[in-house]
Amino acid sequence: MRPCFGGRTLDQYEEIAAFLRQRLPLLPRIALVLGSALGSLAEAIEDPFVLRYEDIPGFLHATVASHKGELLCGRLGGQEVLCLSGRFHGYEGYAYEDLALPIRVLHLLGVRQLILTNAAGAIRPEWRPGEIMLLEDHIQLNGATPLRGPHLPEFGPRFFDVSQLYSQRLRDMAFECAEELGIPLRQGVYYFAPGPQFETPAEIRAMRILGGDCVGMSTVPEALAAAQVGMEVAAFSMLSNMAAGVVGNKVSGEEVDEVGGRTAPQLAALIEALLAKLGS
């Protein structure tokens, strides 16, 4: 029997890229992905050209309420940017292979730098909701990789290094920007949990022992797809809540959205400053 492979063919990725090349007014080299409750970051983009995901043939559709489902193209921090306002997750029912699609399309469009954002639960007890963490590294031990399937050499080697996935250069620049803006910035390890349920306190204790500083349900699949094609990656976690049980607490989706909405302007300022520095 022929095995049933997930993912897409190169032609399918190329078709989406060709459609976008015709429609987009600019072909920026920098892209942003906006996570849960961070959609308001898109409002800072000047003169945006907007395409709804469902109007892009072959693209994925955003199903999570706090994710808008729009591709924006415009200027932020003086730089031309593409912005995915709303992302895709395994817990929506997407195969992990599907999650490589937006990133591979961005690569075909010429994007070289990727800034990822997410909402995450703080595992470190001394951290607080509302703080921002820069990813130094991640842990993903459940096999949830978008890179399974037939190897397409156009998207990089099958076996590749991820020992420096989150760019030291971009992290240094982000810390400089944070200092200039007076925004406290944490740095740590993001533990990927598949969701959609939040974690049990015992799972959080295990993650802490394994070296996780915060926990979330996104970012890692995109970061892996980006690393394979050789993009320079930076990722920010907005700490929307204390992870389950860290301070004897429960976790709620409402808290994630409320704190995310409140913290989004700070993260937007930081990203805008980072983009301006990248262009200087």
Strands 113-122 and 30-34: what pairing? parallel
* Among 109, 119, 174, 246, contact with ligand HPA (rule: CB under 6 A): 119
* Among 108, 215, 220, 246, contact with ligand HPA (rule: CB under 6 A): 215
* Among 59, 166, 198, 236, contact with ligand HPA (rule: CB under 6 A): 198
Q: How far is CA 276 from CA 232, 272, 280, in A?
A: 16, 6, 6
Q: How far apart are CA 176 and CA 133, in angstroms?
A: 14
Dmax (CA) of the chain = 60
Sign of CA dihedral 68, 220, 235, 132: positive
Q: How far apart are CA 52 and CA 137, in angstroms?
A: 32
Hey, which residues between 83 and 102 contact ligand HPA (CB under 6 A)? none
Q: How far is CA 108 from CA 96, 138, 158, 206, in A?
A: 20, 26, 18, 39
The piece of 7-15, 26-34, 237-245, 269-277 that touches ligand HPA (CB under 6 A) is 237-245
Q: Is 264 in the site for ligand HPA (CB under 6 A)?
A: no
Q: Is 246 in the site for ligand HPA (CB under 6 A)?
A: no
Radius of gyration of the chain from its Cα atoms, rounded to whole angstroms: 18
- Reading the block at residue 100, the tokens are 């490589």
Report the alpha-carbon angle 31-109-106, nearest 5: 45
State in Å, rounded, how far the first CA of the chain is from the last one: 56
Size of the site for ligand HPA (CB under 6 A): 14
* Among 101, 133, 189, 217, contact with ligand HPA (rule: CB under 6 A): 217
Q: Which C-beta is closer to ligand HPA: that of 72 or that of 235?
A: 235
User: What is the DSSP-derived secondary structure letter of residue 166?
Assistant: B
Q: Which C-beta is closer to ligand HPA: that of 64 or that of 114?
A: 64
Q: Is 193 in the site for ligand HPA (CB under 6 A)?
A: yes
* Among 42, 73, 120, 165, contact with ligand HPA (rule: CB under 6 A): 120
* Among 30, 76, 243, 267, contact with ligand HPA (rule: CB under 6 A): 243
Residue 81 bridge partners (DSSP): 30, 74
Residue 21 Cβ vs ligand HPA, minimum distance, rounded to whole Å? 34
Question: Is 149 in a helix, a strand, or coil?
Answer: coil
Q: Is 241 in the site for ligand HPA (CB under 6 A)?
A: yes
Q: Is 33 in the site for ligand HPA (CB under 6 A)?
A: no
Q: State which residue has the least CB distance to ligand HPA.
A: 121
Q: Which C-beta is closer to ligand HPA: that of 34 or that of 71?
A: 34
Is omega for the bond preceding 196 within 30 degrees of 0, making it cis?
Answer: yes
Residue 220 Cβ vs ligand HPA, minimum distance, rounded to whole Å? 12
* Among 117, 240, 263, 266, contact with ligand HPA (rule: CB under 6 A): 240
Q: Which residues bind ligand HPA (CB under 6 A)?
A: 119-121, 193, 198-199, 215-217, 240-241, 243, 251, 256
